[in-house]
Structure 1
Amino acid sequence: MLEENNYGAWAVKMKIFMGAQGVWAAVESKNAVDDRLDQMALAAIVQAVPESVMMATSEHKTAKKVWAAIKEMHVGEERVVKARVQMLRRELDGMYMSESGKFSEFALKVSDVVNEIRTLGTKVEESTVVEKLLRSVPEKFQPIVTTIEQWGDVETMSVAEVIGRLRAFEESGKGWCHHKEEEEKGKLLMVRDEPRLTRAEWEAIVAEEKRSGHNSGSGGNKSGEKKYHCRFDKSKIDCRRCGEYGHFTDECDGVKKMTKGVAQLAVVDDEPTLL
């Protein structure tokens, strides 16, 4: 049913429906058509519009004139049409899929805008829509985009084929992403389960492990493993002096260089001055 804001989609559906019924020729033909064919086309149109539109177009007696009147009511004059097309083109150019969005929803929005432009009488090539889809998806689609551009003919490829390939790629990536999320979650739980030790506690445990290994001759504790000797990760330690990770403050090269410089300065000061 024709509504206030769905003329573009309505016109496309009506064209398909009337074509299937064999009566679309009554609307698009420039020559005279059979009266029975014209009346069947007119009946199809009247059944798909509200009463207000039917009454507004009742003075027209042929399907072609009724169709033209409905189009004029919803499309407007030529200048209005051109302005609407320009606005829709700018909208299309500014459409990009977000990182968290679904490709099927984005493709539907693009198709709606393209169909409305076509309904207004402006031609939009399939290759233009294909290129728009390929250059408007996030970086995660780059592998399939590159494959399509290298091994497919973008100029002859249909919009439906591109949408199908991009959707298939998106679906295949969901399982991989879920696996990576579970893996990262497991790593995070392992880190949380590990004890939080100060440096003194860590050094004391490592020293005890060394003594136990030296005394037992087994090189480890009772379980045969060194529990903390290799587990402590200094890569997560940030130096309080230089701000970099991987060492304690007293291990900082800046401190060592400063100490060495002070020592050298003291030696120079102790040397006798030559007159």
Structure 2
Amino acid sequence: MALIPHGGGAGRSATMAMPMLTTDNYTVWAIKAQTILDVHTVWEAVAPGDAAVNARKDKMARALLLGALPEDVLLLVSTKLTAREVWDSLKVRIIGADRVHAARLGTLRGEFDRMKMADGEELNVYGGRLAAMAARYANLRETLGDAALVKKLLDTVPDRLFPVVAGIEQFHDMTTMAFDEALGRLRAFDERVRRRGQVGDERGGEQLLMMAAQWAARERRHDGARDNDDGRSLASGSGGNMRRRCYKCGEHGHFRRECPQLGKGPAAEHTLLAGAYVDDDGLL
């Protein structure tokens, strides 16, 4: 079996290569850089604590850091003589000073508090915006946990999703629920509601059209009945009395106000009127 010389070989050097710093990857870069410096046993030059810094380790750490910087940033920190000075300078320039960091974090928190699902916005799109907000928090070395994301999601979805929101709040512990789980439950319920709503709209529209036509025909019949009850004859000249029809009993020869059936109860009147309407247009 081949032996790797002390200090590492080509494979180890390639694996432990420092990542290149960019304008938007400082948080991840700093984690990787610290790990690699620690593997090379030179991280103590950046964070020495109370111990004295070993000059050789300090030079090694500074060289590794400078090799991971783009040219424009390298020119700015090249005058720093120690690894710690290089590290602190990068931290201030990329993240900003403490006051700038606090201001950025406050602005981000305000944006998060004002977030809500827009009209017509897809649930997946809104969930993506919330997840992106968590990434922006991470860039400022802050954590936006699942509990805060779940609460924000349930508080800002439309009213049509209220039943599933109430179910989650009643039967689940929102402090331990994963954000992806809450989003998945809302998506499943939303799809079911949309599917049922589309079928219901088609059937409901046909029923409304039928009912509107029936009521229009019925109103026309009622208007005609009231006109005849006002005393207008259906025909003029001889034989007019025989053609007069009573809308109380259905007999010819008199008007409703002259009908002998008046006062005999609403049941008889309803039956006769119903029969008259059914004979003419089949509608009650």
Query: TM-score range with shorter-chain normalisation?
Result: 0.5 to 0.7
The corresponding residue for 1:272 is none
Are 1:91 and 2:111 counterparts?
yes
Which of these residues, 74, 94, 97, is aligned with residue 77 of structure 1? 97
Within the candidate set 125, 132, 136, 1:105 is matched to 125
Alpha-carbon distance in structure 1 between the residues aligned to 2:66 and 2:148? 35
CA contact (8 A) 1:130 1:159 kept: yes
1:103 shift after superposition: 1.5
Q: Size of the alignment, in residue pairs? A: 210
Q: Is the aligned partner of 1:135 residue 2:190?
A: no
- Write out aligned runs for 1:171-186 (5 A): 171-186=191-206
Q: CA deviation at 1:57?
A: 6.6
Residue 228, structure 1, aligned to residue 238, structure 2 = no
Letter in 2 for 1:170: D
Distance (Å, rounded) in 1 between the aligned partners of 2:160 and 2:190: 9
Computing the radius of gyration from Cα coordinates, the structure with the larger value is 2
Partners in 2 of 1:30 and 1:85 — Cα distance?
Answer: 34
Counterpart code for 2:151: E
Name the CA distance, whole Å, in 2 between partners of 1:143 and 1:151. Answer: 12
Give, in whole Å, the separation in 2 of the partners of 1:27 and 1:169: 49
State the superposition RMSD in angstroms: 4.8
Q: 1:182 to 1:156 in 2, by over 3 A?
A: same
Give 1:87 shift.
Answer: 0.9
Structure 1's 220 and 169: CA in aligned 2 closer, same or farther, altered over 3 A?
A: closer
Of residues 35, 38, 60, the one that matches 1:25 is: 35
Distance 1:194 1:200, change over 3 A: closer
Q: Secondary structure at the match of 1:166?
A: helix
Residue type at the aligned position of 1:228 = L
The alignment-based identity, stated in percent, is: 24
- Alignment correspondent of 2:142: 122
C-alpha spacing 1:185/1:219, structure 2 compared with 1 (3 Å):
closer
Aligned 1:134-173 pairs, distance under 5 A? 134-173=154-193
Shift of 1:191: 5.2
Kindly indicate whether the alpha-carbon contact (under 8 Å) linking 1:85 and 1:120 is maintained by their aligned counterparts in 2: yes
Counterpart residue number, 1:238: none
Q: Which structure 1 residue ranges, 5 or more long, are not aligned?
A: 230-275
Deviation string for 1:205-244 (max 9, x for gaps)? 7988x85997xx999439xxx5233xxxxxxxxxxxxxxx
Q: Give distance in 2, aligned partners of 1:73 and 1:58.
A: 14
> Structure 1's 24 and 139: CA in aligned 2 closer, same or farther, altered over 3 A?
farther
5+ residue gaps, structure 2, are 1-19, 44-56, 227-245, 252-270
User: Partner of 1:110: helix, strand, or coil?
Assistant: helix
**Alpha-carbon distance in 2 for matches of 1:137, 1:24:** 41
Distance in 2, matches of 1:64 and 1:27, equals 12
